[in-house]
Structure formats: structure tokens, C-alpha cells
């Protein structure tokens, strides 16, 4: 997600020049690419100002004439009022009661295409669409109608949209100010709204996007087969053979703005509306590359592209790939945990990682030495994540339990993904809106507890992360097994109200269990690593003196890495050198 920024500002944000902006990562997994036949999409809401909480709206009925105020999700600025629908659906975070999920990443795009008079922003589009649509195709149609009717108030966005059967990627950008003809009148070819393309990810494949537009060329309308349609025929979107939908003027508008003058068949959405450069590849596309490489080893051939060294059009990564092996929910959780391990961009390897291999870099991320510009990497796992999730939708489950939002707060590498079912009656207190904020600490907030642990770990990362990952894995593996057992119970329960009670109790219990475990972990880490020492322990029990209870045996005091000592000597060896004895 992002404030209203240009592609230049977005790139600056990736490398730390804009401190108030957001940047997110999303991966998409189709039924045929998952081990259990579910669809999955992920999201990391990364921001230095976003608080991690689980948004919740209960299904409701409204009288005719009811209006709803649109509030810009990023800034809180009131925009316009629009009519409310008669019936809305329950939403739990970015998933609704039907298992439909929508996430996004901001790519910014051409700065002049931000419409300052637009009526609806990308965040409102997501959450209002979830309240009104049952499936991915309905969602795409609703998004198109929103921007056409009210005008689009944000910059370029890539949306992940998934229901129990299908996964789609949709990329959208506004049209900016009106275009005038030579007579000073608004050119009739310009209309308010946005240009966009939506493509269904082929079954058996996975996709991803991370703050750069990824749709290039796409099939144009084929009237006989209807595999591809323009918004002029958007009612045909519900034909199952339709795999591509696009704004009717997505190409003609580009011509009107002099962005494109080739043949229609060669039109590339990304190259036209969000031109690629080094920063977009290295700060954005590289995250997709890292995930793709984990799933398909042949992706190594795109390493130079991901690092921004080879940006020729023919060198671009594919929009989607087929994984070497089908992915489990746990596999997808692990895709969200990445510091470019196994690549030249590994963030634990250079001097910036410190003596304890901390794979995080404080902002700003760009710097200059002797007139030469450099960057730190922007990985999927980053310290400023507000919340993240792995959304799983299962076609074989009854509606109240069709979707599970595996939800976590703070840094994806050290978070715990807790199962929040799509029709729970209430949100656990630790994730609830209003339980603390970015300037108010709360002892019962998961966001603050997880930040306490991760920020403690950053000081001695290579050691502490092992304890964190051990507890993380134990909890997540337990939740996965327990949710599978719960599914069997749900399938035997016919009453939907009772199913909602069952899943609400379960989600709340797992959240409470996580909070209890993480509080114990925070205390354990403080005791074990206090003052730079490492107390000796076995299975969480610290070794004590045989003569005095409560007194630990002398702790370990491991040396810094040899390379770190060399760097200290190179920097200040003259002062620190011990003179030879005469």
C-alpha cells in the first residue's frame, strides 16, 4: 500500500527517501499449485506508520438512501459519500465470509495519472468490495464499477484477488487530469476513472507482485471464444472461459497521452504505465524473484534481471511460473520469510548486518560514499511490517469455514500466523482495532508484544532468531494440525450458527495461546541474553550453581566473528593494540 506517490517517489521509498510511504509484497497460489487444493494469496502491509490490527466488519442491512463516507485509507482524509448497498458481508481483515480475499501492492506509476479529484481510494475499494462481492469475478466487476463511477483517488495498484476456485491479478492506474483538445475543450476520448487489466492465474501456477506493475502484453478480445473481454462486455466476465478482462480504453488512453504508438498486440501495461528501471527491479521485482527461485530452481536465469543488471524487455521474469513441487500452507508462510538467503543479495552477509548477522537495515536505504551511490536491499521480510497474512480458501468446506486468514503482526520472519476463520463472530482482543496504536503501548496488544521480541532480537540476531523460530514453528505446526482436526468437526456440523461459534472459540483460543507463548518467550530471551552473555540452558531450563539456587553457572561469552575483529583493527587498531612485552 502507499500514499499517493509517483513511481519516482515509490522507488525513493524503497530505498528510504520517503519515510511515510508503504510498500508491500504479495504472492498468489492457485488450487493446482497447492498441496491440499486450496487457493492462497499473501500480503505484507509494510509501513513505518501502520499499526498491526485485524479489521472487522459484521454483515449488516441498510435502508434505501443510506450513504457511506469514503475515507482515504492511508491519510484518513474524507473523500466523497456514496450509496450503501442493502446488504453487506462480514469481513475479517482482507477476507470476507465467502472466502474471497483481496490484497495489494502499490507500484505508483506515472505521476501525472494521479487524479486529485478522484472519489475513491484503493483501500476503500478493497474493503468495500469485500463487503459486496462473493467471488473473484464479482470483485473485478465491482472494482471496475467503483473507479468508473466515482473516479480513482490513488496511484497505481496491483491487486491479488482469490476465491475458493480462482486466483486473479489485477493492475490499475488512474487517468489524471482531463485531456483538452486544441479548442480548449475536454477531449471526448478522455473519461474519468482508471485503466486496468485483470488476468486469471492459470491453474497449477503461482504469481507474485511487489510494488511494480507486472502485467505486460495480454490477449485482446476474442469474440468467438470470449477468453478475453474488454469492460464494454464486462457482463461476460461470469463466463468461466473468460481469463482476461481489461478497461476498454487501456490502449487508446495510452495513445491519447502519447505513451504508446505501436500495434495493439504489442501493448504492454507495465512498460507503458510503470516503466522499469534499476530501482524498480532491485527494490521490487527482486522480492518476486526470491520467492519464485525458492519454488522453481530454473528461475536462477533471471538473477541479473532481479538485481537490475539486465533490463532488456526479453529478460523480464514471467508473470507466473509453475512450481517444482506443490505448496502447503506452511510453505507459503515461509515464502513470506525471506532476506534473499541463497542469493548474492543475502542481507546477513555484508558489514551492514553487524557481528550477529542481522538482516535488517535502518532507513534511509540509499547512501553515498565518495560521490558513488549505493543501496541496502529491500527484502520481503522487513522490520516495519504492520501486519501480514496467508489467506487460504477451501472449496470443500461449508461457507462459514471456507476461508482461513492466517494472520500475524510485525516482521514476517518472526511473526506467528494465527488462524482467523472467515466468519468469526468477534476478533481476539490482542488483534482488535483500537487496542493500542503507534503512539500508545498496550500490554494486551499482539503488535506491541511481537515488536518487543523482534526489536530485542535485532541486537543479537543470529543467536536469538533460533529461539524465536523454534517457538514460531511449534505454534504454527500445532495450529495447522488442530485446524485440520477442527475441519473434520465442522464438516459434521450442519448448523451454521454453531459452526460460527466453534470457529470463533478456536480462533480466540489460538490467539490467546500465541500471546501466552510469546510473553514467555520474551521473558526467556531477556533472561538468556542479558548483558551480552548467553546463559546455558537445556529445553528452556537454565543451568544453576549446585551450591546456590537461582545463581546461574558462568554464562557463555562467544567471541565476535574473526572477520569482525579484523574490521575493528582496520578501523582503530592503533589505539586498541596491546604492545609487545619488552
Task: Indicate the SS3 state at residue 111.
Answer: helix
C-alpha–C-alpha distance, residues 308 and 285, integer Å: 9
C-alpha–C-alpha distance, residues 128 and 70, integer Å: 10
Strand partners, 228: 244
Which residues, including other chains, have CB under 8 Å from residue 345's CB and lie 6 or more apart? 286, 290, 307, 377, 379
Instruction: Pull the grid cell for residue 63.
Output: 435502508
Alpha helices in 104-165 (DSSP H): 122-132, 136-150
Among 379, 384, 385, which Cα is nearest to 344's? 379
Q: Are 127 and 104 in contact (CB under 8 A)?
A: no
Burial class (CB in 10 A: 0-12, 13-18, 19+), 579: exposed
C-alpha–C-alpha distance, residues 11 and 107, integer Å: 9
Q: How many helices (H) and strands (E) does the chain have?
A: 13, 24
Domain boundaries, the chain: 7-47+93-336, 397-532, 537-576
C-alpha–C-alpha distance, residues 104 and 48, integer Å: 17
Q: Where are the beta strands (DSSP E) in 72-133?
A: 78-83, 87-88, 91-92, 95-96, 101-108
C-alpha–C-alpha distance, residues 155 and 306, integer Å: 24
Instruction: Pull the grid cell for residue 8.
Output: 519516482
DSSP 8-state secondary structure symbol assigned to residue 435: S
Q: Is the dihedral of CA 538, 544, 549, 550 positive or negative?
A: negative
**Cα distance from N-terminal residue to C-terminal residue, the chain:** 66
Over its length of 582 residues, how does the chain's per-residue pLDDT go in tens digits?
443 333 333 444 444 333 334 479 999 999 999 999 999 999 999 999 999 999 999 999 999 999 999 999 988 999 999 999 999 999 999 999 999 999 999 999 999 999 999 999 999 999 999 999 999 999 999 999 999 999 999 999 999 999 999 999 999 999 999 999 888 899 988 999 999 999 999 999 999 999 999 999 999 987 767 899 999 999 999 999 999 999 999 999 999 999 999 999 999 999 999 999 999 999 999 999 999 999 999 999 999 999 999 999 999 999 999 999 999 999 999 999 999 999 999 999 999 999 999 999 999 889 999 999 999 999 999 999 999 999 999 999 999 999 999 999 999 999 999 999 999 999 999 999 999 999 999 999 999 999 999 999 999 999 999 999 999 999 999 999 999 999 999 999 999 999 999 999 999 999 999 999 999 999 999 999 999 999 999 988 998 888 888 889 999 999 999 999 999 999 999 999 999 875
Question: Does the reported pTM lie above 0.85?
Answer: yes
Angle at which helices 461-491 and 446-457 pack, to 10 degrees?
150
C-alpha–C-alpha distance, residues 166 and 143, integer Å: 17
C-alpha–C-alpha distance, residues 484 and 489, integer Å: 9
Amino acid at each position: 500500500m502507499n500514499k499517493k506517490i509517483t513511481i519516482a517517489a515509490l522507488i525513493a521509498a524503497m530505498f528510504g527517501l520517503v519515510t511515510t510511504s508503504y510498500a508491500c509484497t504479495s504472492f498468489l497460489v492457485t488450487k493446482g499449485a497447492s498441496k491440499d487444493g486450496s487457493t492462497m494469496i499473501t500480503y505484507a502491509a509494510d509501513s513505518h506508520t501502520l499499526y498491526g490490527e485485524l479489521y472487522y466488519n459484521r454483515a449488516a442491512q441498510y435502508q434505501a438512501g443510506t450513504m457511506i463516507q469514503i475515507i482515504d485509507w492511508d491519510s484518513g482524509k474524507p473523500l466523497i459519500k456514496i450509496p450503501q448497498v442493502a446488504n453487506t458481508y462480514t469481513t475479517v481483515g482482507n477476507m470476507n465470509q465467502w472466502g474471497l480475499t483481496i490484497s495489494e501492492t502499490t507500484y505508483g506509476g506515472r505521476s501525472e495519472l494521479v487524479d486529485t479529484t478522484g472519489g475513491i481510494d484503493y483501500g476503500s475499494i478493497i474493503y468495500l468490495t469485500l463487503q459486496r462481492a462473493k467471488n473473484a469475478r464479482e470483485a473485478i466487476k465491482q472494482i471496475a464499477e467503483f473507479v468508473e463511477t466515482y473516479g480513482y483517488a490513488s496511484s497505481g495498484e496491483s491487486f491479488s484477488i482469490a476465491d475458493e476456485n480462482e486466483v486473479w491479478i489485477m493492475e490499475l492506474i488512474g487517468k489524471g487530469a482531463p485531456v483538452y483538445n486544441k479548442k480548449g475543450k475536454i477531449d471526448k476520448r478522455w473519461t474519468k476513472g482508471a485503466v486496468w487489466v485483470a488476468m486469471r492465474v492459470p491453474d497449477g501456477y503461482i504469481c507474485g507482485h511487489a510494488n511494480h506493475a507486472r502485467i505486460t502484453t495480454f490477449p485482446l478480445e476474442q469474440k468467438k471464444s470470449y477468453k478475453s473481454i474488454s469492460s464494454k462486455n464486462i457482463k461476460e466476465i461470469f463466463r468461466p472461459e473468460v481469463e482476461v478482462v481489461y478497461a476498454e480504453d487501456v490502449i487508446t488512453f495510452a495513445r491519447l497521452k502519447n505513451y504508446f504508438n505501436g500495434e495493439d498486440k504489442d501493448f504492454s501495461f507495465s512498460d507503458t504505465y510503470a516503466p522499469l528501471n534499476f530501482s524498480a527491479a532491485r527494490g521490487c521485482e527482486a522480492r518476486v524473484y526470491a520467492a519464485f527461485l525458492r519454488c522453481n530452481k530454473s528461475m536462477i536465469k533471471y538473477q541479473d534481471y532481479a538485481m537490475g543488471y539486465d533490463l532488456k524487455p526479453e529478460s523480464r521474469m514471467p508473470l507466473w511460473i509453475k512450481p517444482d513441487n506443490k505448496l502447503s500452507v506452511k510453505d507459503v508462510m515461509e515464502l513470506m520469510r525471506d532476506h534473499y538467503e541463497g542469493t548474492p543479495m543475502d542481507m546477513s552477509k555484508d558489514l551492514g548486518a553487524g557481528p550477529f548477522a542481522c538482516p535488517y537495515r535502518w532507513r534511509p536505504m540509499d547512501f553515498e560514499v565518495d560521490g558513488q551511490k549505493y543501496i541496502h536491499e529491500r527484502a520481503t521480510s522487513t522490520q516495519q511490517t504492520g501486519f501480514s497474512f496467508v489467506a487460504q480458501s477451501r472449496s470443500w468446506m461449508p461457507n462459514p469455514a471456507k476461508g482461513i486468514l492466517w494472520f500475524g503482526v510485525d516482521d514476517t520472519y518472526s511473526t506467528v500466523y494465527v488462524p482467523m476463520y472467515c466468519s468469526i463472530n468477534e476478533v481476539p482482543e490482542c488483534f482488535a482495532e483500537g487496542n493500542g496504536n503507534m503512539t500508545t503501548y498496550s500490554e494486551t496488544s499482539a503488535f506491541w508484544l511481537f515488536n518487543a521480541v523482534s526489536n530485542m532480537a535485532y541486537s543479537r540476531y543470529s543467536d536469538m532468531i533460533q529461539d524465536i523460530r523454534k517457538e514460531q514453528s511449534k505454534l504454527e505446526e500445532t495450529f495447522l494440525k488442530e485446524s485440520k482436526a477442527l475441519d473434520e468437526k465442522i464438516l459434521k456440523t450442519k448448523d451454521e450458527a454453531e459452526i460460527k461459534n466453534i470457529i470463533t472459540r478456536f480462533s480466540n483460543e489460538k490467539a490467546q495461546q500465541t500471546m501466552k507463548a510469546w510473553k514467555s518467550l520474551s521473558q526467556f530471551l531477556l533472561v538468556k541474553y542479558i548483558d551480552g552473555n548467553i546463559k546455558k540452558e537445556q529445553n528452556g531450563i537454565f543451568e544453576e550453581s549446585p551450591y546456590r539456587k537461582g545463581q546461574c553457572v558462568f554464562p557463555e561469552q562467544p567471541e565476535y566473528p574473526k572477520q569482525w575483529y579484523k574490521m575493528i583493527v582496520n578501523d582503530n587498531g592503533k589505539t586498541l593494540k596491546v604492545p609487545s612485552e619488552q
